[in-house]
Amino acid sequence: MLHINGLTYRIAGRLILDDASAVVPAGHKVGLVGPNGTGKSTLLRLILGQINADGGTIGVQRGARVGTVAQEAPTGSMTPLDVVMEADLERTALLAEAETSRDPGRISEIHTRLADIGSHSAHARAGAILHGLGFDAAMQAREMSSFSGGWRMRVALAAVLFSEPDLLLLDEPTNYLDLEGTLWLEDFLARYPRTILIVSHDRDLLNEAVDSILHLDDGKLVFYTGNYDRFERTRREKAERQMALKTKQEDQRRHMEDFVARFRAKASKARQAQSRIKALARLQPIVGVTEARTITFRFPNPDELPPPLITMEGVSIGYAADKPVLKRLNLRLDMEDRIALLGSNGNGKSTFAKLLAGRLEPLAGTVRKSQRLKVGYFAQHQADELEPDGTPLSHMAALMKGEHESKVRARLGAFGFGADTATVKVSSLSGGEKARLLFACMSFSAPHLMILDEPTNHLDIDAREALVHAINAYEGAVILISHDRHLLAASADRLWVVADGGVAPFDGDLDDYRRLILGGTASSGAKGDAVGKADAAAAKADRRDARREAADARAAKAPLMKLAKAAEQEIEKLSTERKRIELQLADPALYTGPPEKLATLTRNRADLDRRISTAEEKWLEVQSAIEAAD
């Protein structure tokens, strides 16, 4: 389907693609991956012919239709359904010709072709795609001009999916979607009957929807069969083999060089030394594996506050007193909570987050917060609040007034900003770098609660993994709103669904939620069935009872979790003290000095061993109790 041969491309003199070659077979679903800035989007533009390469060729199968999401979202008086239907250019042209043609033979050909391409079902297919991307029937009939840019981009995505090109090119298609839309798209692409090349940093999408990986790094393209997890495993094994060969070769070279250095001047060994010199000249070095610079960052841990952090009783919130977005909220938030907010865009997730962050006052009810509570709030739109001519260093220095520059740089270093990037203007930072700067500023005061609203947009896979580790190491409460299922699964231990004007715990995991979303889409036509309604009501009651039981179990387990944490801290403290004593005992001068000091240190170490053993036994007992409570 797609042949890339010896492709070379430069941007401002920087080599992006260096004699890169690859073949994408017809019918394959391929994920194009690589660190940010390596040229993935540039490669898509080259395939589309939007820019010209410096060298090499790109060939697409003869007669194949290539499709991608329009760069500008459609607007105007047309409806989303109209925009999507018109994306099938052949059907639109045939229908227009059928209106004007007077040739009976041609009219017959037109209707035959319309039947062949499934024109009769086009309306239903277009509506199903829009519904999957979050447009209900009323939204499908609204004018495009009434939608925000993000929703219009969803229509553009729906249009190219509906047109079903032979080669579908997608560049981060989930950036404008919520989790529900992402789950639907993942399922749609997995069943897509033609060839796909998709740029994405969504690990679950790359595991579920593609069967091959095209890796772009250091200007080269390498094709791997299998999903993203298999690609990572294969690449890691290849790197390990290459490093083993390099180590073996270096040992061989060192041995020959030692022989030459020792015996080059000896007449009896001169000939052997000369042969080894020639062998050294022929020995081609094996290139070592260069590890890409990985991003790591960490959030400062807050002081512990007594529970609860926040309680809500009968709370309603919104932007107009007569039109609350959410109402009758009765919820509680504690320090150990890691909660993912689920629900379609427009249901009120961000509104709820603003209430927690103190950016929105309740319309009714009572919100009680711990007096010393500090909240960190992250949202992508905050990137617009950064000073374009400022730098990461100047932004952090403004928060750390009076501190020495070395301390400011150290704080930035915790979020991946080294000496080379700390002084780069914000206007020149990548989207991922701006996101990390926002993380650094948001968490500067060591908040007790962090609210992260779509934190993975613009982050590549490695940076997303670093975010997972940073969240899991953080000791405060976390509220997550994200379409990245891997982030939610790895970081959140509770799910709350924002829907139907309320917020309620979800009894199940993300796989259960995925089945609910995709199953609900598939069975939406049966809502009028009275038996189905009765079954749904019974299931809802069962889920409500199960959620109540799960909440009671969590409440019972909370004291055990605190005991386990206290035991872990005690073990760490005692172990640190034991290491300090062992260092003193390792000092030879100790054994020539006063014997009382040696005896004291020996007794103290024995006492610490006993206390560590007691703390470990206590921790094991608490862990057993926690497991029994699950």
215-260 residue pLDDT tens: 998 889 999 999 998 988 888 787 776 676 666 666 666 666 665 6
Last residue of a domain, one of 525, 545, 561: 525
Report d(CA 565, CA 573) in Å as an integer: 12
**CA 558 from chain center: how many Å?**
29
Q: What is the DSSP letter of 427?
A: G
Report d(CA 204, CA 182) in Å as an integer: 10
Write out the two tokens for 422. Answer: 């700390």
Q: Tell me whether residue 197 is in a domain.
A: yes
Q: Are residues 447 and 580 in the same domain?
A: no
Phi, psi of 305, rounded to the nearest 5 degrees = -115, 150
Q: Tell me whether residue 342 is in a domain.
A: yes
Domain containing 395 — which CATH number? 3.40.50.300
Between CA 141 and CA 148, with CA 146 as vertex, the angle to 5 degrees is 115
User: What phi-psi label fits residue 299: left (phi over 0), alpha (psi between -120 and 50 degrees) or beta?
Assistant: beta
Greater model confidence, 144 or 595: 144
CB neighbour list of residue 242: distance below 8 Å, 6 or more residues apart: 286, 287, 288, 289
* Mean pLDDT within 598-613: 87
Q: Tell me whether residue 123 is in a domain.
A: yes
Report d(CA 355, CA 505) in Å as an integer: 18
Q: Are residues 490 and 446 in the same domain?
A: yes
Write out the two tokens for 259. Answer: 């022989």
Q: Are residues 582 and 541 in the same domain?
A: yes
Q: Are residues 57 and 122 in the same domain?
A: yes
Q: Tell me whether residue 295 is in a domain.
A: no
Q: Tell me whether residue 216 is in a domain.
A: yes
Report d(CA 201, CA 468) in Å as an integer: 14
With 80 as the cut, is the pLDDT of residue 428 above it?
A: yes
Q: Are residues 220 and 254 in the same domain?
A: no
Q: Which domain range does residue 256 map to?
A: 232-282
DSSP string for 359-372: SS--SEEEEEE-TT
The helix (run of H) or strand (run of E) holding residue 555 is helix 530-585
In terms of C-beta density within 10 A (0-12 exposed, 13-18 middle, 19 or more buried), how is residue 249 classed? middle
Q: Packing angle between helix 179-190 and helix 122-132, nearest 10 degrees?
A: 130
Residue-level length of the chain: 630
Q: Give the residue carrying structure tokens 């506050």.
A: 305
Q: Are strands 477-481 and 338-342 parallel, antiparallel or unpaired?
A: parallel
Q: Are residues 142 and 240 in the same domain?
A: no
The pLDDT score that the predictor gives to residue 529 is 38
Report which residue type is found at 528.
G
With 70 as the cut, is the pLDDT of residue 611 above it?
A: yes
Tens of pLDDT, residues 200-217:
999 999 999 999 999 998
Q: What are the residue ranges of helices labelled H in 298-419?
A: 349-356, 392-399, 405-413
The helix (run of H) or strand (run of E) holding residue 86 is helix 80-86
Q: Give the residue carrying structure tokens 């938030």.
A: 333
Report d(CA 626, CA 630) in Å as an integer: 7
Report d(CA 110, CA 557) in Å as an integer: 68
Under 8 Å between Cβ of 412 and 393: yes
Q: Are residues 502 and 569 in the same domain?
A: no
Q: What is the number of alpha carbons within 13 Å of residue 424 lying toward its C-beta?
A: 15
Predicted confidence band of residue 480 (pLDDT cuts 50, 70, 90): very high
Q: Tell me whether residue 250 is in a domain.
A: yes
Predicted confidence band of residue 568 (pLDDT cuts 50, 70, 90): confident
With 90 as the cut, is the pLDDT of residue 447 above it?
A: yes
The pLDDT score that the predictor gives to residue 549 is 57
Rg (alpha carbons) of the chain, rounded to whole number: 31
SS3 371: coil
Report d(CA 622, CA 556) in Å as an integer: 13
Q: Cα torsion for 319, 320, 324, 328, to the nearest 10°?
A: 90
Predicted confidence band of residue 553 (pLDDT cuts 50, 70, 90): low
Greater model confidence, 356 or 386: 356
Report d(CA 66, CA 60) in Å as an integer: 9
Q: Tell me whether residue 289 is in a domain.
A: no
- pTM of this structure: 0.68
Report which residue type is found at 159.
A
In terms of C-beta density within 10 A (0-12 exposed, 13-18 middle, 19 or more buried), how is residue 204 classed? buried
Range in 253-257, 400-404, 419-423, 622-626 the model is least confident about: 253-257
SS3 266: coil
Q: Tell me whether residue 290 is in a domain.
A: no
Q: Are residues 213 and 242 in the same domain?
A: no
Predicted confidence band of residue 523 (pLDDT cuts 50, 70, 90): very low
Q: Which of 240, 259, 258, 248 is nearest to 283 (CA)?
A: 248
Domain containing 559 — which CATH number? 1.10.287.380
Range in 62-76, 549-563, 601-615 the model is least confident about: 549-563
Q: Which of 464, 468, 465, 446 is nearest to 456 (CA)?
A: 464
* Mean pLDDT within 386-399: 90
Last residue of a domain, one of 525, 559, 587: 525
The pLDDT score that the predictor gives to residue 116 is 73
The pLDDT score that the predictor gives to residue 275 is 60
Q: Are residues 426 and 547 in the same domain?
A: no
Last residue of a domain, one of 171, 198, 231: 231
Report d(CA 157, CA 151) in Å as an integer: 10
What's the total number of domains in the chain?
4
Q: Are residues 476 and 425 in the same domain?
A: yes
Q: Are residues 476 and 362 in the same domain?
A: yes
Q: Are residues 17 and 47 in the same domain?
A: yes
The pLDDT score that the predictor gives to residue 524 is 34
With 80 as the cut, is the pLDDT of residue 541 above it?
A: no
Report d(CA 585, CA 361) in Å as an integer: 60
Write out the two tokens for 385. Answer: 């609040």
